[in-house]
Each structure stands twice: as C-alpha cells, then as structure tokens.
Amino acid sequence: MTMDLETESAEQAFAAMTAMFDGRRALLLEDDPDLSEHVADRLLKAGFEAVDRVDSGEAALQACASGAYDVLILDRLTKGLDGLETLKRLRASGGPCADAPALMLTALGGERQKVEGLLGGADDYLAKPVGDEELLARIGCQIRRTARHARPAGADILNGPFRLSPGARTLKLELESGVRLIDLSPLEFAIVHELMTARGQPVTKTMLWDRCWVEWKFLPENFVNIIDARISALRRRLKEQAPELGEDLHPLIVSARSQSLIFRDLDR
Amino acid sequence: MIRLLRDWLARRTSTQLASALAVLAALALTGSLVLTGQAVRMDQRQQAALSALDDYAAMVSKLGVETDFNPSELTAGDAAYLSAWLGAFQSGPGRDAGSLEETCRTGRGGAGVRYIRASVGKPAGLAALETAPRERLPRLGDNVWRVKLARGELCPGRTVEAVVVRRTVGSLNIIVGRVVDPTGRALGWAVLAVALTGAVILISGLAAAAFARRRLTLAITGVSQALDRAAVGDFSVRAPEVGVAPELTELTVQANRTLDRLEELLSWLRDSADQLAHDFRTPLARATARMERLAETGDPDERSRLGLEAAHDLKALSRAMNEAMALREGEAWLFEEVRLDDLAASVAELYEPLAEARGAAIAVETPDGPVAVLGVRSLLQRAAANLADNAVKFSPDGGTVTIRAFLIDGKPSLSVGDQGPGLDPRMLSDAALRTASAEAGGRESHGLGLTFVAAVLRRHGAEMTIDDAAPGTIVTAQFSR
C-alpha cells in the first residue's frame, strides 16, 4: 500500500518537473557527440522545448550572443575555448546568458577543480558519470532557484500544516489545536529544509549529501546507505512528533525512483 | 620615476653596480680635488696680491716721505731710481720671498715685478707688465690684476702668473706685483694621496665585488646542481648549506628541505601507486573472467549472477580509482590542524543511523583536551570514515564500534575497534594487507580500503597497527606529532 503511494507520489513529482521544463531552452556544450546526443535526448524527453548543442567554447559564445537560455550545461575540456573560460566570458559579457544558471558537467571531478568551477561562475558542478535522474534533478533545482529569485530570501516555506523558518531554523506544526515546534537536530533540519525548498520536486541523494553533510569533503562509497539510514531515523522522528497527520500521509519523506527523495506536497 | 629607477637597478648585476659605485667615488674625489685646487690657487693669488699691495703701500709712503719727488716733476731718471729701489726692496734679505732668479729656476712664486712710467722719459722695469694679457681680480681689491707672463718675458724657461696693482700717482703710472706661487707642493701631495686613495677604493671595491660574486655563484651553483639532478629524478644530491655564502644559507636550507619533501613525497606516491595498482587489477581481472564466462554460459540464472558480480567488480574498480584520485588531490601540502577528537565525533555521527539499522552501537571516547595533528583534512576524513565503515559493516548484532581519540606519550592517536570476526593474525602484517581484499573473494572484506588508509597514514608520518581485540579487530593510527 505504502509502496503504491510512494510510486504514485514519485511519478507526480517527476511529472511536476516536466511541467517546469516545458518551454525551456538549454545550451549544451559537449564535444563528445554520443554523450551530447544522449543528454540532449533526455532533456527533450523531460520536457525541454529546445536543446542547442555546440562542441566548442567559441560556438557557445556565439549561440549565447543571439539568444537567451534557461540553463547552460557546460563540459570543461572542450575544443578551443574550454568550458570554464567560456563561462567566465559569458558571465562578464552582460549578454542574454550572463545570468543564466550554469552546470558544469565534466570528468574533472577533484575537490580543487570543483572549487575552481564554482568560483568561475558555475551554479553546480557535476563529475561524470552522471545518471539521468541526477542530471534532471540538478537542472530542475537550478531552474527552480531562478524562478524563486523574485521571492525574498529566507521567507518561510509552508507545506500543509508545516511552517519552516530558514532564519530561525525551526520547523513548526500549525494545527487547529495549536502550534507545536518539531524537535530536529541541525543535520535533520538541514535535510528537511533542503527537501521542503524543492516543493514536492525530487532531490537526489548526492544533492542532499553536498548540501547537508557539508563538513565532509568527499562522497563516501556507501553514502546512499548512510543517507537511507539517516532518512529512516528522520521519518520515525517526524511520525512520532506529528501523529495527527494520519497513517496515510506518513512517511512524509518518500523515495522517488532510485536515487531521489521527496518531501510530500501536503497542499495538493 | 622611482619605479623606472628601480626597474633599471633590477636589471644590473652586482658587479655592474659595484663598478658604478667605484666610478662615482672616483668622480667625487676628482671633483673635490679640482675644488681644492681652485681654492688653493685663489689663496696663493690673494697672498701675492697682499704682498703686492704691501709693496705698493711701502713705495707710496716712500714717495710721500721723500717729498722731493713731486710726481708731476718726476723724470725718467727718478723712475729708474724708484724701480731699482723697489727691486732691492722686494728681493732684499729678510723677506721670505725668493729672488727672481730662484723663482724662475724653481717655478715657486714670491718674486716681485714692477714697472714705472713717468710722463716724460723712458719707463723703467718690466715692460711686459703693461702689454701682457691681463684680467681684473675685483675680489682681491681695486686695480688688482692678474697678468700672464709668457715664456721669455720674465723667466726664460717658464710661463709665470703674477698679481699686480696698477695705480696712477700724479703723472706716474705704477705697476707693482708679485709672481704667484703655482698652487704649491702641498697640493701635489694632496693630489697624490687622493689619487692613491681612489685607486685603493676602486681596486678593493672591485675585488670585494668579484669575491662576493664568486661566492654567491658558487653557492647558487650548488643549489642549481642539486635541482638539476632532482629534475632528472636523482634526489641524492644536496647543496652545501654552510661555509659557502652566509647570505644564501637560508635559500640553500630551504631548497634542501624542499628536495627532502619531494623525495619523501615521490617515494610515498610510488609505494602507494604500487599498492593501489593491485586494487585496480584485482577487480579488473575478476570482471574480465566473469565476462568471459558470461559469453560462454547459456544458463539465464548464471548469466544474471555473473552480470551482477561483474557490476560489483566495476564498483570496486571505481572505488579504487576514486581513492587513487583522492591521494593525488591530497598530495598538495595543504596541511592544517585537524582535531582527531572532533573527527571521531563526526565520524560517529555520520555512521550512527547505519550502525543502529544494523543493530550495533557506536561509542566515542575522547579526552577532555584537544587531540590535534597536522594533516590533509579530506584525506584524514576519508581514512577515518573508511575505518568506521568497515567496523560498522562487520559488527555483530548488539556489538559496539568504539572510536577513540587519545594521546600516548603526547603522540596523537585514533583507533577504531569492532567486535566482528577479526582478521586472520597471519594477515596482520603490512605486506599481507594488500592481499586481504583479494583473498576475501566476492564479498567485501575488512581488507578493502585498508590499502588506502595505510597510504593516507603513511603520508602523515603515522603508523598503522591492526590488533586482535578478541573478539574483533582494533585498528590504531599513531601519529608522530
């Protein structure tokens, strides 16, 4: 029963992402034709209106000069101008792509290279190989962030009876019978924050690792097990502290596909 | 402007700078010599002028006393008489001035010269005083002139300079003067002394510069030879640190220390690479073998089992690759203070839910004070996580994983103990660790990842020991500082 619910909820989440991708345009800088075709194909299937494929930094600059994109996906080691330099120039150009969210998708996955990429203007940095689910969730996250720019940062996030205040770092359960503070450890709060910010859309476990386990400078081999164990404990904690929601809404955090998690959208 | 000068200076070698200084010093000395010469010359002229004025005053008073000499009636004969008298007066005994003859012989000044011309008759004295080129010297007095007497005019052998007073008394034109001493012997000595000093400064400056340069060059050659050898892979050569050039001791020490570190790092990388290569080859060989069997077998169950196992091998391979890359990343000397007690606590927090899910508990034991080491944070994190991961994985139901940070004789240590099946004591040697993962067959074993942990600890100069905790295993990393 629970499994059915989870599957249904997960598919809804991915469907919501498709709706978000609808009509969006992406620029893909990748000089391996097979990989480029594969990524473009996935993006188009996920709902993108257009994916412009280029194989050199110069071509990317040219494409960006003539039109705006909702997201830039850049390889680092490309013919001619490399991806990082291309991004730096785009950011400095003030052109239509200067503020577009950019993901580096590259084989250079070292900690130092990652820092270089983020300092160079990338919004996210992914080391190849990257699964489709991971890539789409990351792109979704970037587009969501851009859309959120209009709202003030640090505003409360509401989901059903839950009110999450990022500034005060509190999660409250607001019921007719009264308001109750949910007791969470800092790590648990970070996880709930990350998932609720996604507003019902999937967050992959690597994304969660990057943003919640920040003191760890690497991805352990068994991070999936570590996260699963942590999430199980968190589910129990939420259930204990919010029994009023009813059996059918728990667990509040559900798995989606193989590598993603969703905080149930209780307003739907 | 200052920047230009600095740039220019930066392009000059020390020898060039030293030579430039020597040349400047010589110029300054020459300049001071010229100025001194002029001052001396002026002084000599002044003395001559004073003497001439004296002579003139004496003569005028004589003229006044002997009132018979009415200037308006002075005859040529009187003039001749006066001239002769003045000659005797100027060159007479008791005067320190030399006679004309001596002046002409030695060139020294002092001799008197005179010329008197009356309105009538023949003038008396040295006619050249009136015709020779002359120049007024207003600073020495009214009507004081400098006269240049060419060779033959006064002295047959030399040109002399005289300072004269030209006056007119009534109808009498009187020129009385003294030969100027040509700057004197004292100046000659001064010139010689200054020139010698200049030469000594120049030579010793150049010699010192050459010596310093040679010394520096020698010391630099030592360093550069050591670096050259290092560039082709020979790290045995070191530059001499003392006894060459004290200025460069610091540089040499630094260069040698860098070479020491490089040598240490290279040997560490070589060892680690050897051991990690094993971690690469084992899963590769296994996956290859499974793929071959997969191609041969027709049984669908067998096929899917082989496929899964091969996928597992590839996972192990990717793990080995990630670890090799992590070592490469940590190769930089980004050593910082890492608190082992904090590390123990955060590793425990990281694995706690996983341990709970497996029915085990994690206990952390740390002293009150800090346990800190210098190290590469990301590598130490990985090593500690690897150890904790293994311990949790092999903990029995209800077992406890104990993570301790402590000090032994002031040396920081970190240990991770479990109550699992333990390692075969025969495999507890460092060399046997390499085979530990291979021996364990398809199952992930306690040995997996220990190669990496050992490499990380070696990088930090720490010693890894694996002890039988009966039951279980305790892995201890003891740091040297």
A148/chain B closest Cα distance in angstroms: 32
3-state secondary structure of A104: strand
The minimum CA-CA distance between B287 and chain A, rounded to whole Å, is: 19
Q: What angle do CA B371, B374, B380 make, to 5 degrees?
A: 85
Which among B326, B332, B354 is the nearest to A229, CB-wise? B354
Residue contacts between A and B (CB atoms, under 8 Å): 43
CA–CA gap between residue B359 and residue B219 (Å, rounded): 66
Residues forming a β-bridge with B414: B405, B477
In a domain, B445, yes or no: yes
* Residue A199 backbone phi and psi in degrees, to 5: 50, 60
Claim: this prediction has a pTM higher than 0.80: no
- Can you read off the two tokens belonging to residue B377? 């944070």
The ipTM value here is 0.76
Cβ contact, residue pair A213, B357, below 8 Å = no
Candidates A112, A217, A220; nearest CB to B389: A220
Name the band, by pLDDT with cuts 50, 70 and 90, for residue A127: confident
How far lies B262's CA from each of B169, B289, B325, B480, in Å?
101, 40, 19, 19
SS3 call for A65: helix
- Chain B residues with CB under 8 Å of A212 CB are none
Most confident of A10-24, A37-51, B112-126, B281-295: A37-51
Mean pLDDT of chain A: 86
DSSP string, B52-118: HHHHHHHHHHHHHHSTT--GGG--HHHHHHHHHHHHHHHH-TT-SSPPHHHHHHH-----EEEEEE-
What is A107-172 written as a DSSP string?
A: S---HHHHHHHHHTT-SEEEESS--HHHHHHHHHHHHHHHHHTTSPTT--EEETTEEEETTTTEEE
Per-residue exposure over B309-345, b if at least 16 CB sit within 10 Å of its own CB, e if not:
bbebbeebbebbebbbebbebbbeeeeeebbbbebbe
Pick A229's closest partner by Cβ from B322, B357, B381.
B357
Closest CA to B138 of B165, B175, B102: B165
What does the pLDDT read at residue A221? 80
Of B351, B356, B378, the CB nearest to A218: B378
Identify the H or E element spanning B478.
Answer: strand B473-478
**Minimal C-alpha gap between A210 and chain B (Å):** 14
Question: What is the rounded distance in angstroms from the CA atom of residue A191 to the CA atom of residue A183?
Answer: 13
As a whole number of Å, the CA-based R_g of chain B is: 53
The verdict on a CB contact (< 8 Å) between B382 and A218 is: yes
Q: Are B71 and B170 in contact (CB under 8 A)?
A: yes
Give me the residue from A217, A222, A232 closest to B378, CB to CB.
A217
Assigned superfamily of A19-148: Response regulator (3.40.50.2300)
Measured between beta carbons, the chain B residues lying within 8 angstroms of A225 are 354
Residues of A in contact with B325 (CB under 8 A): 109-110
At B183 the pLDDT is 66
Residue B323 to residue B317: CA distance in whole angstroms: 10
What CATH number has the domain bearing residue B92?
A: 3.30.450
**C-alpha–C-alpha distance, residues B432 and A141, integer Å:** 47
- In angstroms and rounded to an integer, the radius of gyration of the C-alpha atoms of chain A is 20
Among A152, A55, A136, which Cα is nearest to A103's? A136
Are β-strands B172-179 and A253-256 bridged in parallel, bridged antiparallel, or unpaired? unpaired
B452 with B276: CB under 8 angstroms? yes
Q: How far apart are CA A126 and CA A83, in angstroms?
A: 13
Residue B278 CA to residue B353 CA, distance in Å, equals: 33
What is the spatial distance between Cα A32 and Cα B95, in angstroms, rounded to a whole number? Answer: 114
> CA-to-CA distance for A128 and A106, rounded, in angstroms?
5
Q: CA A85, A88, A93, A94 torsion: positive or negative?
A: positive
Question: What's the pLDDT at A104?
Answer: 93
Per-residue confidence (pLDDT) for residue B431, from 0 to 100 = 42
On whether residue B312 sits in a domain, the answer given is: no
Cβ separation B353–A233 shorter than 8 A:
yes
CB contact under 8 A, A187 and B326: no
Shortest distance, CA B213 to any CA of chain A (angstroms): 43
Domain of B383, in residue numbers: 334-478
- Domain membership flag for residue B198: no
Q: Which residues of A touch B354 (CB under 8 A)?
A: 222, 225-226, 229
Minimal C-alpha gap between A116 and chain B (Å): 14
Q: Has residue B308 been placed in a domain?
A: no
Q: Which of B160, B182, B204 delimits the end of a domain?
A: B182
Q: Is B329 on the interface with A (CB under 8 A)?
A: yes
Which among B182, B208, B238 is the end of a domain? B182
Cα–Cα distances in angstroms (integers) from residue B133 to residues A108, A267, B149, B150, B436, in the given order? 95, 122, 8, 9, 115
Test B329 with A220 for CB contact under 8 angstroms. no
Q: Is residue B157 part of a domain?
A: yes
**The two structure tokens encoding residue A225:** 């097990």
Annotated domain spans of chain A: 19-148, 157-263
Neighbours of A67 (CB within 10 A): 13
pLDDT at res. A102: 93
In a domain, B451, yes or no: yes
Region A72-96 average pLDDT: 89
Relative to beta strand A162-165, strand A157-159 is antiparallel
In angstroms, the CA A90 to CA A267 distance is: 39
Distance CA A62, CA A96 (A): 11
- Determine the distance in angstroms separating the CA of A227 from the nearest CA of chain B, rounded to an integer: 9
A233 lies within 8 A of chain B by CB: yes
Residue B317 lies in a domain: no
Q: Please judge whether B357 and A222 are an interchain contact, meaning their C-beta atoms are less than 8 angstroms apart.
A: no
Which one-letter DSSP state was computed for residue B410?
A: T
Q: Is A230 on the interface with B (CB under 8 A)?
A: yes
- Written as six digits, the tokens of B201 are 């400064």
Interface of A with B in 157-216 (CB under 8 A): 187, 213, 215-216
> Over 50: is that where the pLDDT of A93 sits?
yes
Interface test with A, best of B354, B386, B395, B453 (most A CBs within 10 A): B354
Pick the last residue of a domain from B182, B209, B240: B182
Burial of A37 (0-12, 13-18, 19+ CB in 10 A): middle
pLDDT score at B453 = 87
Q: How far is A171 from chain B (nearest CA, A)?
A: 22
What tokens were used for B329?
Answer: 């990343």
Q: Please answer yes or no on whether A226 and B350 come within 8 Å at the CB atom.
A: yes
Please list every residue in chain B whose beta carbon sits closer than 8 Å to the beta carbon of residue A208: none
Distance CA B196, CA A223 (A): 85
Average pLDDT of adjacent 10-residue blocks, chain B of 481 residues: 86 78 82 83 84 81 61 68 71 55 76 79 78 84 85 82 83 82 73 84 84 85 88 84 78 87 81 76 85 88 90 83 76 78 93 90 92 89 90 89 92 91 58 42 50 85 84 88 72
Structurally, chain B folds into a number of domains equal to 2
For residues B385 and A213, give the distance between their C-alpha atoms in angstroms, rounded to a whole number: 13
At the topology level, CATH places domain A157-263 in: Arc Repressor Mutant, subunit A (1.10.10)
Helix (H) / strand (E) containing B165 = strand B160-169
Element (H, E) at A106: strand A102-106
**Terminal Cα-to-Cα distance of chain B (whole angstroms):** 52
* B82 assigned to some structural domain: yes
CATH number for B404: 3.30.565.10
Of residues B319, B332, B381, nearest to A217 (C-beta): B381
**% helix, strand, coil for chain B, step of 5:** 60, 15, 25
